[in-house]
Amino acid sequence: MANIQDEIHKRRTFGIISHPDAGKTTLTEKLLLFGGAIQTAGAVKSNKIKKGATSDFMEIERQRGISVATSVMTFEYNNLKINILDTPGHKDFAEDTYRTLTAVDSVILVIDCVKGVEEQTERLMEVCRMRNTPVIIFINKMDREGQNPFDLLDELEQKLNINVRPLTWPINIGANFKGVYNLYEKSLNLFNANKTKIEKEVVSVDIHSDELLKRVGERDTRQLREDVELIEGVYDEFDRETYLSGSVAPVFFGSAVNNFGVQELLDTFTEIAPSTQKRQTDVRVVEPEEKKFSGFIFKIHANLDPKHRDRIAFLRICSGTFERNKFYHHVRLDKNLRFNNPYNFMAQDKEVVDEGFPGDVIGLYDTGNFKIGDTMTEGEDLNFQGIPSFSPEIFKELINLDPMKSKQLEKGIQQLTDEGVAQLFVQPQLGNRKIVGTVGELQYEVIQYRLEHEYGAKCRFDGQSISKACWLTSEDQKKLNEFVRLKGQQIAQDKDGNFVFLAESEWILRMNIQNNPEIQFHFTSEFKRAVEA
Binding span for ligand G4P by CB under 6 A among 23-31, 239-247, 345-353, 368-376: 23-31
Residues between 395 and 424 that touch ligand G4P (CB under 6 A): none
Residue of 9, 20, 45, 441 interacting with ligand G4P (CB under 6 A): 20
Give dist(CA 161, CA 141) in Å, integer. 23
Binding span for ligand G4P by CB under 6 A among 21-29, 80-88, 215-223, 308-316: 21-29
User: 494: annotated binding-site residue?
Assistant: no
First to last CA, the chain: 36
Measured from the CB atom, the residue of 23 and 288 that comes closer to ligand G4P is 23
Residue of 13, 25, 87, 383 interacting with ligand G4P (CB under 6 A): 25
In contact, 398 and 459? CB cutoff 8 Å: yes
Give dist(CA 146, CA 115) in Å, integer. 8
Q: Say which residues have a Cβ less than 8 Å from residue 462's Cβ, sequence separation at least 6.
A: 396, 397, 399
User: 168: annotated binding-site residue?
Assistant: no
C-beta pairs of 144-150 under 8 Å, 24+ apart in sequence? 144/113, 144/114, 144/173, 144/174, 145/114, 145/173, 145/174, 145/175, 146/112, 146/113, 146/114, 146/173, 146/174, 147/113, 147/114, 147/116, 149/113, 149/173, 149/227, 149/253, 150/227, 150/230
Binding span for ligand G4P by CB under 6 A among 139-147, 286-294, 299-307, 326-334: 139-147
Q: Say which residues have a Cβ less than 8 Å from residue 41's Cβ, sequence separation at least 6.
A: 29, 30, 33, 195, 196
Residues between 69 and 98 that touch ligand G4P (CB under 6 A): 89
User: With binding defined as CB under 6 A, does residue 140 bind ligand G4P?
Assistant: yes
Least Cβ distance, residue 421 to ligand G4P (angstroms): 21
**φ, ψ for residue 362 (rounded to 5)?**
-125, 150
Residue of 11, 12, 24, 529 interacting with ligand G4P (CB under 6 A): 24
Residue of 44, 111, 257, 398 interacting with ligand G4P (CB under 6 A): 257
Binding span for ligand G4P by CB under 6 A among 97-105, 235-243, 249-257, 388-396: 249-257
Q: What is the DSSP string of 316-384?
A: EEEES-EETT--EEETTTTEEE--S--EEE-SS-EEE-SEE-TT-EEEEEESS---TT-EEESS----B
Measured from the CB atom, the residue of 24 and 215 that comes closer to ligand G4P is 24
Is the dihedral angle over the CA atoms 336, 290, 245, 116 positive or is it negative? negative
User: With binding defined as CB under 6 A, does residue 23 bind ligand G4P?
Assistant: yes
User: 88: annotated binding-site residue?
Assistant: yes
User: 174: annotated binding-site residue?
Assistant: no
User: With binding defined as CB under 6 A, does residue 124 bind ligand G4P?
Assistant: no
Binding span for ligand G4P by CB under 6 A among 24-32, 265-273, 382-390, 401-409: 24-32
In contact, 29 and 43? CB cutoff 8 Å: yes
User: 498: annotated binding-site residue?
Assistant: no
Measured from the CB atom, the residue of 177 and 370 that comes closer to ligand G4P is 177
Radius of gyration of the chain (CA): 25
Least Cβ distance, residue 491 to ligand G4P (angstroms): 39
Binding span for ligand G4P by CB under 6 A among 74-82, 99-107, 254-262, 351-359: 254-262
How big is the site for ligand G4P, counted in residues (CB under 6 A)? 19
β-bridge mates for residue 73, sequence order: 84
Residue of 13, 26, 377, 383 interacting with ligand G4P (CB under 6 A): 26
Give dist(CA 128, CA 27) in Å, integer. 20
Least Cβ distance, residue 48 to ligand G4P (angstroms): 5
User: 402: annotated binding-site residue?
Assistant: no
Burial of 341 from C-beta contacts in 10 A (0-12 / 13-18 / 19+): exposed
User: With binding defined as CB under 6 A, does residue 185 bind ligand G4P?
Assistant: no
Query: For binding to ligand G4P (CB under 6 A), which residues are involved?
Result: 18, 20-26, 46, 48, 89, 140-141, 143-144, 255-258
Q: What residue numbers does the annotated binding site for GTP cover? A: 18-25, 86-90, 140-143
